[in-house]
Amino acid sequence: MAEAPVLVLGGTGHLGRHAVGSLVSMGAPVRVMSRRPDAAREILGDIPEIVYGDLVDEESVGCALVDVERVIVAVSAIAPSTFRRAREIEGDAVIALLNQGQHSSLKRVVLISIYEINLELAARLGLEAAQIKATVEDYLAKSELNWTVLGQPPSMDLFFAMIRQGKAMVVPGGGPPSLPHIAPQDTGALAALAVLRDDLNGQRLRLSGPEPMSFPEAARRIGEVWQKPLKFLAIPLFLPLTIRWLISPLAAFNQKIGYVHYLMGYLRLLNSFPDDIPQKAAADYQRLIDTFDMPFTTLEDEAERRCPRSRPAITEQD
């Protein structure tokens, strides 16, 4: 009998695609459900099984769950076209799938959630992500499934996303004194390793890379690897927050304005990480080292991979 496939929900997303890649490299059979199978195939290659389906459609979910015993939930509704449906997609639909899976062959679930559930802070910032994830985590805790939650911090990619024209890192508010972060490929690898294990039941693991750091420190280190200084510029946070306040009356009526308003809420969150993060992140990283046998990506590793001078020059023959 063929080995049961691991179903990866959100398998073409920022984190899910790396979970798929890690499972493939480990030789595990993988299934991904997508509303656009052809586009998913371009992203994931020829090896994973890709089935057509929509997470909010019960019938297609049932088809995707056939013979599945293990699931990675890496679902995100942060895109401009879906952010208003976050509760439906990340919350209700995920719980419905897990409930359906419990009545079939599903045994093991790895949920990629947020770094830490702080409902008071989320309410103050007007962000519903924490409440949505808390609802799913509460469902898992009360279920009979074997489950593990991975608390995802900001992606390491965030440092590079703030770089403008390779010359300066521009950060609204300047960021926190110390930011926990992890490379997306490491999150994918951890999810893949975790879903194939049964000895992590009931655990919530906060993820962190080798070292939390501030944006100015990240700019300095990236500049050293690229062998050119990166300026660090902090935009006063009151500027984007004032814009957010001004556009608030229109956010509910215009999709683009609503999305800008939504993202600006996360700027406030980015600048609201607590002061005890360095101690927490160090303990989190040590726990990961003790639990999983895998290398972790440093900021210098990623900077070297992205370094402009490391890319081959284009010749006339090319």
Print pLDDT tens along the chain (318 aa). Answer: 458 999 999 999 999 999 999 999 999 999 999 999 999 999 999 999 999 999 999 999 999 999 999 999 999 988 878 878 889 999 999 999 999 999 889 999 999 999 988 778 777 777 788 899 999 999 999 999 999 999 999 999 999 999 999 999 999 999 999 999 999 999 999 999 999 999 999 999 999 999 999 999 999 999 999 999 999 999 998 877 787 778 888 778 788 887 777 777 777 888 888 777 778 899 999 999 999 999 999 999 999 999 876 544 444 443
Query: Which one-letter DSSP state was computed for residue 88?
Result: I
Note the pLDDT of residue 160: 97
Q: Is residue 260 part of a domain?
A: no
Range of the domain at 42: 6-156+180-213+275-297
> What six digits make up the tokens of 136?
């799913």
Q: Is residue 313 part of a domain?
A: no
Q: Domain total for the chain?
A: 1
The Cα–Cα gap between 220 and 281 comes to 21
CATH label of the domain that carries residue 84: 3.40.50.720
Note the pLDDT of residue 71: 98
Residue 133: burial class (beta carbons within 10 Å; 0-12, 13-18, 19+): buried
Q: Which residues are within 8 A (CB) of 78 and not within 5 positions of it... i.e. 6 or more apart? A: 86
Note the pLDDT of residue 220: 97
Q: Is residue 311 part of a domain?
A: no
Q: What angle do the packed helices 16-25 and 184-195 form, to 10 degrees?
A: 60
C-alpha angle with apex 52: 66 to 87, nearest 5 degrees? 85
Which three-class secondary structure state does DSSP give residue 231?
strand
Note the pLDDT of residue 317: 42
Q: Is residue 256 part of a domain?
A: no
Q: Is residue 112 part of a domain?
A: yes
Sign, Cα dihedral of 36, 41, 43, 49? positive
Note the pLDDT of residue 310: 52
Q: Is residue 45 part of a domain?
A: yes
pTM: 0.91
> What six digits make up the tokens of 277?
């993060």
Note the pLDDT of residue 80: 77
One-letter amino acid for residue 311 of the chain = R
Q: Is residue 238 part of a domain?
A: no
Note the pLDDT of residue 2: 58
Q: Is residue 185 part of a domain?
A: yes
Q: Which whole-number Å values give the CA distances from 87 to 50, 84, 128, in the listed order?
A: 25, 8, 8
The Cα–Cα gap between 133 and 113 comes to 6
